[in-house]
Amino acid sequence: AQSVSQHNHHVILSEAASLELGCNYSYGGTVNLFWYVQYPGQHLQLLLKYFSGDPLVKGIKGFEAEFIKSKFSFNLRKPSVQWSDTAEYFCAVNKGNTGFQKLVFGTGTRLLVSP
């Protein structure tokens, strides 16, 4: 069965620090990859997505992620975090080429950015 692993459950950073959140998935076929973010008290929203093409994708608010097929990874990065980035981040995967069925989510990473 597909699974998604997010190794960092809690991350605490100071403003302006660089961020990298790990995400690994187990499915070996074609995949679509997503990062969702949930700000305190708000609903889940899409941060960025990868379907095909350039493995380095850029999303909103200065976030980017790199798909490394050989490592089954899709790590999220941001060069300089802000206090407003405090949120929970979820990596998600679904099978490609079969239409969108279900997204399989990781357990999430809680990021706290101190001012």
Partner 1 sequence: GAGVSQSPSNKVTEKGKDVELRCDPISGHTALYWYRQSLGQGLEFLIYFQGNSAPDKSGLPSDRFSAERTGGSVSTLTIQRTQQEDSAVYLCASRAPGEYEAFFGQGTRLTVV
Stretch that binds partner 1, among 13-21, 39-47, 52-60, 68-76 (CB under 8 A): 39-47
Beta-carbon contacts of residue 87 (< 8 Å; ≥ 6 apart): 37, 38, 39, 40, 110, 111
Two tokens, residue 96: 């490609």
Minimum Å distance from CB 14 to partner 1? 25
Residue 87 or 104: the one with the smaller Cβ distance to partner 1 is 104
Euclidean distance between CA atoms 49 and 7, whole angstroms: 20
Do 37 and 47 contact (CB within 8 A), yes or no?
yes
Identified binder of partner 1 from the candidate list 43, 52, 54, 115, rule CB under 8 A: 43
Judged by the rule CB under 8 A, the positions of this chain that interact with partner 1 are 6, 9, 32, 36, 42-46, 49, 51, 90, 92, 94, 100-108
